[in-house]
Amino acid sequence: MIGGRQDVGAPVSRFAARAVPWLLLALAAALRLPRLDVRPLHHDEGTNVIFLLRLMRDGTYQYDPSNYHGPLLYFLSVVPFLLFGTTTVTLRIVPAILGTLMAPLPWLLRRELGRAGAIAAGVLLAVSPSLVYYSRDNIHEIYLVFLTLALVAAAVRGAASGRRAPVVLAGMTAGGIVAPKETACLTFLALAAGLALSRGTGLGRPRRGAALMFLGAACLVAVALYSDLFTDLGGLARPFAAFRLWGARGLNAEGHAKPWWYFLGILAKDEPAILAAGAVGAAIALWRRDRFGVFLFGWTGATLLAYSSIPYKTPWLILNSVLPLALLGGMAVRTGLGSGESGGPGRPSARVRWLVGLLFAAGAAFSARRAFDLSFVRYDDDRVSRLVYVQTRRDVNRLVSRIEEFASRVPEGRGVSIEILSPDYLPLNWYLRDFANVGYFGTVIERPGAPVVIARADTADRVAALLGPGYTREVYPLRPGVELVLFLKEGPAGAKPVEGPGPG
């Protein structure tokens, strides 16, 4: 465990100390909670809702290690569905809340980072473009990263205070970390690397009783999640199969191969404030042999090294490096502002402190603007950022609106027959969930004939020949490299014609 009292900065009033986490929470919420439905669902979200809707309707979930990630996302995300119904906002509210809660958590580390450093780290997490972007869709990464920060904060406080509650909470979060996805093993290895590297700077060993409480809580949570709340004990073997399967997938890349410098490129373009502040913080930690800073350095370096070495790379994996870099950035700001130092030759001059403050404010403002642009404006433009990755185009909203408009003109309404003949259709399964008669064939069938037919562009001519006359034909981009063609049967056997040109 990590512990020990560090400089906490200048005294502040009790009111200010209580206000800080709420202000950080508000800043993070302002970028994460509004308009959660503005960006179309990602392909991976379309996959996740298959299991999520099944859990809601049938009350069952079984972890499949062959192609899908762990159970935590489903057990948490089903709660808003059950309470408030199935909407895009309720689908995404859990990751948005978890991403929001990350911002005030560094305040629990103010003994280690200093108050100024904890605030700075919280601001960096609140406005991080990558954290904001991936807090606004429901994939597994934000669950893993949130729990990682919660684990570190709880473990530090448990070691410093000697109280049982933080230790048990740390164990519960450790057990939860294995449940979002299989890369949890890399998280534990990176944390272990940080612990090993910081031993020479005075890091103590955990007491035996605390270690047993930690392990007991971790095992209890992990067993509960992977056994479908203790109803399927056979599920406990599946995570071990998953590590083998996903390990092979990571090495084979399977269409997601990227160069070793891929994540450094994302940091340089989308997270320059966190990258620069984190690099300075790492140098300061090593120079001063700050035990918590050395731990953060080892954690960051091991994470970047591990993910950069694996051929399989997707941009949301960068969140695992952004987190410790932001904490290192807080350490840099603490030192630059001279937080807690009472004059003397080691304290930066007023001019330096002003410069550090201005640089930090400029970096945070850049990050906030970048986060807003990517999350609310150009969220589906992969030319802008590598964070936008095989993202569903906003044109899917026009496609769905066209189908809904067509359904409003036929007697069957939302019971109209829809045939989807494309293997690429996710996340249409979410947007068409209220239509009662949708067939997901995934390929061209011999005798298509539904009033609504969706095919991939490269098979559209073949489908048109099979359908015969009487259908309109409209093209909609789904995601990069995939276009869908919508066939609508107009006239006496279909819907009444609508005046004016249809969407193209």
Which of 326, 350, 377 is the last residue before a domain boundary? 377
Q: Is the pLDDT of residue 25 over 60?
A: yes
Which of 322, 342, 377 is the last residue before a domain boundary? 377
- At residue 145, the 3 state secondary structure works out as helix
372/433 same-domain check: no
120/32 same-domain check: yes
Q: What is the DSSP string of 177-219?
A: HTTT-TTHHHHHHHHHHHHHHGGGGTPPPPPHHHHHHHHHHHH
Q: Per-residue pLDDT tens for 388-399?
A: 999 999 999 999
Q: To which residue do tokens 């209580």 refer?
A: 18
Q: To which residue do tokens 């695992």 refer?
A: 320
457/429 same-domain check: yes
Domain count, the chain: 2
431/371 same-domain check: no
Q: Per-residue pLDDT tens for 254-270?
A: 677 899 999 999 999 99
Whole-model pTM: value is 0.90
How far CA 156 is from CA of 195, 234, 245, in Å, comes to 12, 35, 34
426/322 same-domain check: no
144/59 same-domain check: yes
Of 460, 450, 315, 332, the residue nearest 374 (C-alpha)? 315
Helices (H) and strands (E) counted in the chain, each on its own, are 20, 5
Query: What tokens were used for 80?
Result: 């808003």
Q: Tally Cβ neighbours within 10 Å of residue 243.
A: 14
Confidence tier at 477 by pLDDT (50, 70, 90): very high
Strand 452-456 and strand 438-440: the pairing is unpaired
402/365 same-domain check: no
Q: Per-residue pLDDT tens for 152-186?
A: 999 999 888 778 888 899 999 999 998 888 889 99
146/28 same-domain check: yes
Ramachandran assignment for 268, one of left (phi > 0), alpha (psi -120 to 50 degrees), beta (any other)? alpha
Task: Report how far Cα 321 is from the mean position of its chain's Cα atoms.
Answer: 13
What values do phi and psi take at 212, rounded to 5?
Answer: -65, -40
CB 418 within 8 A of CB 452: yes
Which of 315, 345, 377 is the last residue before a domain boundary? 377
Q: Per-residue pLDDT tens for 409-419?
A: 999 999 999 99
Does residue 9 lie within any of the structural domains?
Answer: no
Domain containing 422: what range?
A: 395-489
